[in-house]
């Protein structure tokens, strides 16, 4: 029998974990080269397991695992895990923001579909949430949401009207809607961006160096106006039910 294929030292983050047996866990991971991968961590719940202090969310890891049977197997077997270092766990509101991003990836990413650039942006966002002041959180989340939607092919071009491909007028107001794409502001809309602002976001998304910084900088003055529009668009693509982390945020704000 041929030996199982081994993946070694794969950069990864844990998106979610749940019990598989009395002693083992199933990990939903986001890896740089293989996308979202499900792994079984056998014996990880035992007090003597080397996995226990390492398998934490929002921490950069290096994972080694074997592919069970074939590359198309649903769940592979974790063989090794090491903390890659770099930052501590995000705390407070930034921890909740990190869990929200993890839930987005769980809902929107198919398994075994690699997104190396999105992984790098995610890693930069988590590091920022762990090390920077809360004031950066909202622009960073909006920047990540836009990049996520673009990488998944769910974001229309932001420099033209979606229906007729007419160029945007710099001073006119436009709204990003789930089914209509980018369209002119209507009387029932509550918030919009100007054509020039949407064009600036499209320019940042198209930067050749493909780094998080241009998108983050572009979102700093626009984060508040983008929040509701991106929330509606993301929920549309995630489907029902409402994102649990978003419901938790709403519940906390109501206290």
CATH label of the domain that carries residue 236: 1.20.1440.120
Q: Is residue 110 located within the same domain as residue 192?
A: yes
Q: Is residue 12 located within the same domain as residue 59?
A: yes
Instruction: Write out the DSSP string of the chain.
Output: -PPPPEEEEEEEEEEEEEESSSS-EEEEEEETTTEEEEEEETTTTSTT-TTTTT--BTS-EEEEEE-SSSTT-SEEEEEEEEE--S-----THHHHHHHHHHHHHHHHPPBT---HHHHHHHHHHHHHHHHS-GGGHHHHHHHHHHHHHHHTT-S--SSB-TTT-PBPPTTSEEEEETTTEEEE--TT----EEHHHHHHHHHHHT-TT--HHHHHHHHTTTHHHHHHHHHHHHHHHH-SS--HHHHHHHHHHH-
pLDDT-derived band at 52 (thresholds 50, 70, 90) equals confident
pLDDT-derived band at 252 (thresholds 50, 70, 90) equals low
Residue 88 included in any domain: no
Question: Structural domain of residue 134, as residue ranges?
Answer: 93-254
Is the pTM value of this prediction over 0.75? yes
pLDDT tens sequence across 166-187? 999 999 999 999 999 999 999 9
pLDDT-derived band at 133 (thresholds 50, 70, 90) equals confident
Percent over 70 (pLDDT), the chain: 94
More confidently predicted of 87 and 199: 199
Q: Is residue 48 located within the same domain as residue 169?
A: no
């Amino acid at each position: 029998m041929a030996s199982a294929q081994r993946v070694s030292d794969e950069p990864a983050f844990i998106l979610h974990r749940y019990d598989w047996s009395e002693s083992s866990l199933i990990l939903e991971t986001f890896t740089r080269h293989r996308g979202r991968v499900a792994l079984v961590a056998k014996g990880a719940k035992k007090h003597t397991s080397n996995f226990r202090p390492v398998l934490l969310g929002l921490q950069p890891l290096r994972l080694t695992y074997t592919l069970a049977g074939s590359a198309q197997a649903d769940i592979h077997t974790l063989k090794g895990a090491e903390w890659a270092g770099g930052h501590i766990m995000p705390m407070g509101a930034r921890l909740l923001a990190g869990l929200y991003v993890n839930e987005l990836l769980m809902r929107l990413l198919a398994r075994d579909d690699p997104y190396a650039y999105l992984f790098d942006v995610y890693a930069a966002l988590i590091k920022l949430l762990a090390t920077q002041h809360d004031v950066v959180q909202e622009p960073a989340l909006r920047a990540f949401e836009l990049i996520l939607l673009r990488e998944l092919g769910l974001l229309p071009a932001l420099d033209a009207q979606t229906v007729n491909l007419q160029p945007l007028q710099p001073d006119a107001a436009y709204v990003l809607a789930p089914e209509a794409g980018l369209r002119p502001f209507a009387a029932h809309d509550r918030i919009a961006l100007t054509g020039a602002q949407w064009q600036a976001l499209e320019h940042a998304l198209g930067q050749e160096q493909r780094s998080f910084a241009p998108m983050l900088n572009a979102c700093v003055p626009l984060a508040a106006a983008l929040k509701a529009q991106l929330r509606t668009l993301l929920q549309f693509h995630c489907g029902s039910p409402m994102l649990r982390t978003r419901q938790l945020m709403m519940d906390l704000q109501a206290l």
